[in-house]
């Protein structure tokens, strides 16, 4: 197999530091937003005792799910022995770590008592899916970190496959855990199903790869390195398969619910009467997130790089819409404590709950995205993560 040269990004141009500065600014906004929420309490957010998880959770869960998906490219290289993917693997691993960091920061900074993070790390209830996730997230950092090390240090290179396989298995368990955060809840009608675990895994494949492709293309375009079509075409076909699989899972989930009379009300809410949630489901999750990217990726448009990038952006937007519907839509629909009866109370029982995200929540979420991108931007300058060239000839040599 031909060898490939990895080289740091020089990162001394004005453009690099501008990018760094803009991302840093958003990290600062995120920090200020957290400070505001932490000082005044959640009263300054749009969240209340009805919608208890809001926009920060949408961002956090999206980033965590995308993080495990971003690792896929590396997994294909080491676990499934596809040499073409090997040069793409280091970026995949660092992006996975960065996205995970961003997601976790948003998650913990949205806690009612974010100052008590140490309590979450020292007191455990092993029946809680959240506790499991604490270990899954820490393990992810450890395993992916070790895997990255085996890719960057020749002395430990022989362990790369073992580390890659361990990271791959771990990431599958991790996303199972993320999906099960919701899957293990009995109270809400849209949750409480094993379906959410595999559905989150397939969503992670799509969201993670879409983000990976955008970062890869941006890195090569902005540094003036060559990124050949061979790589792009292979990855975009893979992306189309993932998006189709997401659509399949979403359809099966809702079709199953539609068959059960007890779920008719909540399905009618999401699919027909839910206002913003219905719009976000059909226009955001289905049309923008699945149908439009599929049309682009599977048609001749998918041969053009600009259109592939548009498809990636649409998948990410659709993914955020999906998280919004999954997390907030499920809470907006009232709990059915007395099936068949109309409920009213001072605590808004029996009513559809409204939610308007506040500015601090939005910036806290964006802060997580910015941290992820900032870490990636800095890492490619610091470490040899990107091949000097990914032109078609170099890539073709890898496969022979």
Partner 1 sequence: MSEHDTKSEKEPNSPERRRFIGAATAAAGLAIAPGVMLYEVAHGRPEEQAASSAVRWGMLVDATQCATGCDDCVSACSTENGWTPVAESRHPKQAPQWIRKLELQDPLTQMETNLPMMCQHCADAPCVDVCPTGASFKRADGIVLVNRHTCIGCRYCMMACPYKARSLVHESLNDTQLADVPRGMGCVEACTLCVQKIDRGDGNTACAEACTAAGHNALLFGDMNDPESEISKRLRELPTKQVRADLNLNLGVRYHGI
C-alpha 88, offset from chain centre? 19
47 or 202: CB nearest partner 1: 47
40 vs 259, beta carbon nearer partner 1: 40
In the complex, minimum distance from the CB of residue 62 to partner 1, in angstroms, rounded to a whole number: 17
Q: Give least dist CB 47 to partner 1, A.
A: 8
* From 5, 22, 40, 138, residue interacting with partner 1 (rule: CB under 8 A): 40
Pair of tokens at residue 152: 């960057």
Rounded-to-integer distance, Cα 8 and Cα 387, Å = 9
The nearer residue to partner 1, 17 or 347, going by C-beta atoms, is 347
Residue ranges in 7-36 that form contacts with partner 1 under rule CB under 8 A: none
How far is it, in rounded angstroms, from Cα 6 to Cα 3? 10
Burial class (CB in 10 A: 0-12, 13-18, 19+), 365: buried
- Site for partner 1, residues 213 to 272, rule: CB under 8 A: none
Among 178, 331, 358, 394, binds partner 1 (CB under 8 A): 331
42 part of the interface to partner 1, by CB under 8 A: yes
Our finding on whether 53 is near partner 1 (CB under 8 A) is yes
CA quadruple 189, 179, 132, 162: dihedral, nearest 10: 160
Question: How far apart are CB 347 and partner 1 at their closest, in Å?
Answer: 4
Q: What are the residues facing 386 on neighbouring strands?
A: 7
Retrieve residue 225's tokens.
């390195």
Question: Judged by CB under 8 A, which of 158, 300, 344, 400 binds partner 1?
Answer: 344
CA distance 282 to 287: 6
Cβ closest to partner 1, residue 80 vs residue 347: 347
State the nearest-atom distance from the C-beta of 268 to partner 1, in Å: 16
CA–CA dist 18, 22 (Å, integer): 6
Site string for partner 1, 267-296 (x = CB under 8 A): ------------------------------
For the CB of residue 180, give the shortest distance to partner 1 in the complex, in Å: 11
Site size for partner 1, by CB under 8 A?
48
* Dist CA 130 CA 138 (whole Å): 12
Q: Which stretch binds partner 1 (CB under 8 A): 92-100, 291-299, 342-350, 391-399?
A: 342-350
Alpha helices in 260-304 (DSSP H): 264-268, 276-279, 292-298
User: Among 2, 25, 52, 313, which residue interacts with partner 1 (rule: CB under 8 A)?
Assistant: 52
Binding positions for partner 1, 156-185, rule CB under 8 A: 181, 184-185
The two beta strands, 6-7 and 386-387, are: antiparallel
**Within 13 A of 9's CA, how many CA atoms are on the CB side?**
24
Q: Residue 116 or residue 303: which is nearer to partner 1 going by CB?
A: 116
Q: x/- binding map, residues 103-132, to partner 1, per CB under 8 A?
A: --------xxxx-xx-xx--xxx-xxxxx-
DSSP string, 106-167: HHHHTSTTGGGHHHHHH---TT-HHHHHHHHHHHHHHHHHHHHHHHH-GGGGGGHHHHHHHH
Residue in 8, 149, 241, 349 binding partner 1, rule: CB under 8 A: 349
Is 300 a binder of partner 1 (CB under 8 A)? no
* CB-count exposure of residue 32 (10 Å: 0-12, 13-18, 19+): middle
The closest alpha carbon to 373, from 214, 251, 223, belongs to: 214
What is the smallest separation between the CB atom of 194 and partner 1, expressed in angstroms?
A: 17
Nearer to partner 1 by C-beta: 213 or 323?
Answer: 323
Minimum distance between the CB of residue 364 and partner 1, rounded to whole angstroms?
15
- φ and ψ of 390, to 5 deg: -125, 40
Nearer CB in complex with partner 1: 348/378: 348
138 CB neighbour count, 10 Å cutoff: 12
Q: How far is the CB of 188 from partner 1 (least distance, A)?
A: 7
Residues that bind partner 1 (CB under 8 A): 40-43, 47-50, 52-53, 111-114, 116-117, 119-120, 123-125, 127-131, 134, 181, 184-188, 331, 335, 337-349
């Amino acid at each position: 197999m031909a060898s490939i040269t990895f080289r740091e990004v020089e990162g001394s141009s004005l453009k690099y530091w501008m990018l760094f500065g803009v991302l840093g600014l958003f990290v600062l906004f995120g920090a200020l937003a957290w400070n505001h929420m932490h000082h005044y309490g959640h009263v300054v957010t749009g969240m209340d005792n009805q919608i208890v998880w809001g926009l920060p959770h949408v961002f956090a869960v999206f980033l965590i799910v995308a993080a495990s998906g971003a690792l896929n490219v590396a997994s294909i290289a080491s676990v499934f022995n596809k040499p073409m993917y090997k040069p793409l693997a280091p970026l995949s691993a660092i992006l996975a770590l960065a996205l995970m960091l961003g997601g976790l920061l948003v998650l913990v900074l949205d806690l009612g008592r974010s100052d008590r993070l140490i309590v979450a790390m020292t007191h455990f209830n092993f029946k809680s899916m959240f506790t499991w996730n604490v270990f899954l997230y820490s393990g992810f950092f450890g395993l992916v970190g070790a895997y990255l090390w085996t890719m960057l240090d020749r002395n430990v290179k022989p362990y790369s496959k073992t580390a890659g396989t361990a990271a791959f298995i771990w990431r599958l368990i991790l996303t199972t855990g993320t999906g099960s955060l919701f899957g293990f809840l009995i109270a809400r009608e849209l949750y409480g199903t094993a379906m959410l675990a595999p559905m989150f895994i397939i969503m992670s494949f799509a969201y993670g790869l879409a983000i990976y492709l955008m970062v890869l293309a941006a890195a090569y375009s902005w540094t003036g390195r060559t990124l050949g079509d061979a790589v792009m075409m292979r990855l975009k076909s893979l992306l189309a398969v993932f998006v189709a699989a997401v659509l399949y899972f979403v359809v099966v989930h809702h079709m199953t619910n539609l068959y059960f009379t007890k779920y008719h009300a909540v399905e009618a809410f999401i699919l027909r009467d839910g206002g913003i949630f219905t719009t976000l489901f059909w226009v955001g999750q289905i049309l923008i997130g699945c149908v439009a990217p599929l049309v682009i990726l599977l048609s001749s448009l998918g041969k053009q790089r600009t259109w592939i990038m548009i498809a990636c952006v649409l998948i990410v937007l659709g993914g955020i819409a999906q998280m919004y519907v999954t997390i907030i839509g499920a809470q907006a629909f009232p709990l059915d404590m007395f099936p068949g009866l109309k409920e009213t109370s001072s605590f808004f029982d029996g009513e559809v709950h409204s939610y308007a995200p506040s500015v601090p929540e939005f910036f806290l979420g964006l802060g997580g995205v910015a941290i992820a991108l900032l870490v990636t931007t800095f890492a490619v300058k610091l470490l040899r993560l990107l091949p000097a060239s990914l032109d078609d000839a170099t890539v073709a040599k890898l496969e022979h």
